[in-house]
Chains A and B, each alone.
Chain A
Amino acid sequence: MSYRTSRRALLKGGMAAGAFAATTGTARAAESDPLITEPQFWAQGFGDGVDATPYGLPIEFESDVIRRNVEWLTADTISSINFTPIHALDGTITPQGCAFERHHSGAIELRKDDYRLMINGLVDKPLVFTYDDLERFPRENHVYFCECAANSGMEWAGAQLNGAQFTHGMIHNMEYTGVPLKTLLTEAGLGAAGDLAGKWVYVEGADASSNGRSIPMEKALEDCLVAFKANGEALRKEHGYPVRLVVPGWEGNMWVKWLRRIEVMDAPVEAREETSKYTDTLADGTSRKWTWVMDAKSVITSPSPQSPITHGGGPLVISGLAWSGHGAITRVDVSKDGGKTWQTARLARPGEKRALTRFYLDTDWDGQEMLLQSRAIDDTGYVQPTKDQLREVRGLNSIYHNNGIQTWLVNPDGKAENVEVS
């Protein structure tokens, strides 16, 4: 965009001239740019040698693209949560180093040599595997999102945290390599379990919290993965190194990290993490249990409170993420007026089953206030509801599974705020 069109758009939008002066990275056409006319040091001297960084981190200018913690949410940082900087990411794959963490007794350090996986219960042959054993089974690769059941949970009672990272950042999306859980169960033999209908697997981690969860047999056989690689490399310590469970489409709590035991059972354990926690209390005081699937959801990541518009009016990329635990995203609609009118956005790639999908709405901003919303639709025909629609069914105390439509108020100077609208 040339200075002239940009300036016209700004004036049309009624913005102060000062806002443009503060804008960085815009070359002034009227005079020559010294970044071009003067030789710069990076064009004259040397950069770093190839031995400077055996395993690299992002360049320092990206230092704000980091996980963040919200101290008041939990009693301490050991059994706690942090947030993926989704406001600053693009595409769909989450870099592991800034992918969110949720631990119940901290991120433990478990060497491959010390790793053991047990399968017991209603199996023909209870087994113990080493890490090396797991790498000898036939492998698969799949991309899936892992969303904490509590993602957006602080927003049930209204707009609270100001940023997509905080309202929607308990999520990551990685390409996993691992062995189907079905393969390992077959190795132990399911004959002893008899009729598999009504059977369960109980999975638990090697950490002190154990995070034990009960999973119905049909899901265990369908697509659960015992994963040891993510985004091409070993799992990060904080994501379950060396082995975690991947439970596609289902709440993140069930993606047991540092997986140490799988027990085949004829009933669920009703463990702490599926009774006291990860049950959803409704307005009448009764609660849902076993709310495993994460429903279709989306959020505009930019513009958003941490990612304001700094370029003034004119061409604007509205960018966001959509996902569904039931299947693939087929469509995302975007509203700029708080839900009065909607436009169908463009999916960067066709939606993949139980994985993040990137959408874009390429638009022309007139510099006026916007109330931005996105609305995901999945291949079951489910349309992401508003928060009020959810509250009408559930009340305010569910804690988990808030997939209501998010609204960002973008004001004429480009700043965005988390709001709720009627």
Chain B
Amino acid sequence: MSKSRNIVLGAVLAAGVTGPVLAGPLGLGRPATPDEIAAWDTDVRPDGTGLPDGEGDVWTGEELFEANCAVCHGDFAEGVDNWPQLAGGFGTLDQDDPVKTVGSYWPYLSTTWDYIYRSMPYGNAQSLEPVDVYALVAYILYSNDLVDDDFVLSRDNFLDVEMPNAGGFRVDDRAETEYPLWRGEPCMENCKDAVTVTMRAAVLDVTPDDGAE
């Protein structure tokens, strides 16, 4: 967390902690039971917090992938039609049309596990057991050439997997790189010598017909 945001927090707390809203609870709601929390709280964090017991291997994952995932994501996680590509795209992030996949882009393996377990397959989410998800994640790693075909993924070795783009992200830096450039009184008169039209949407002609006059 950046220093500037800690300063903001300090100000919020100073203004808010003693306010009437924080004066005390109203006694509304009821305690959540451990079963209820376990049912809904399935998030997994980058450090592995939240991972359940279990393990799964690449070949089990391939079978599950063919049965549950390949119709959209392709047999090799390469994507079908407009559906997301899960593998490949290495070395494309600084190119014109970057291919962002689990292998080329995602910083943490936890996200893959978490997202598949909660929200996939598309249209039949929350139908997979934890062992299924371990196997599917192992297969996706294999599809990205990040593990060998005899790899078995488990909670114990989860953090050993190196994600290629783990270092590819930085916290929002607009406050340093942009805002100072664009503050101050803007030009009102004689701001340019000439203005030329450089691109026209009508030439591309991809707008739905009934949307334009």
Contact = CB atoms under 8 A, between A and B. Distances in A.
B72 to A, nearest CB: 8
Interface string B11-27: 01100100001101110
A110 interface: no
A348 interface: no
Contact of A308 (B1, B40, B213): B213
Interface string A143-178: 000000000000000111111011000000000000
A285 interface: yes
Interface string A403-418: 0000001000001011
Interface of B: 1, 5-6, 8-10, 12-13, 16, 21-22, 24-26, 28-32, 36-37, 40-41, 43-47, 72, 81-84, 93-98, 100, 102, 105-108, 110-111, 114-115, 118-119, 122-123, 125-126, 168-174, 177-179, 181-184, 186-192, 194-202, 204, 206-208, 210-213
Contacts of B6: 197-198
A136 B195 contact: no
Chain B CB within 10 Å, residue with most, of A68, A129, A272: A272
21 contacts: A68-B211, A75-B83, A125-B31, A127-B30, A163-B207, A166-B207, A186-B21, A196-B9, A218-B13, A269-B45, A270-B107, A270-B108, A271-B111, A275-B108, A276-B100, A276-B105, A283-B94, A292-B172, A305-B207, A341-B188, A417-B200
A187 interface: yes
Contacts of A341: 188-191
Contact of B40 (A78, A118, A284, A287): A118
Given A68-B211, A160-B201, A288 B171 contact: yes
A420 B93 CA distance: 26
A162 B98 contact: no
A128 interface: yes
Contact of B195 (A188, A260, A337): A337
A342 interface: yes
B169 A279 contact: yes
Nearest to A397: B98
Contacts of A420: 197-199
Interface in A222-271: 222, 260-261, 263, 265, 267-271
B28 A339 contact: no
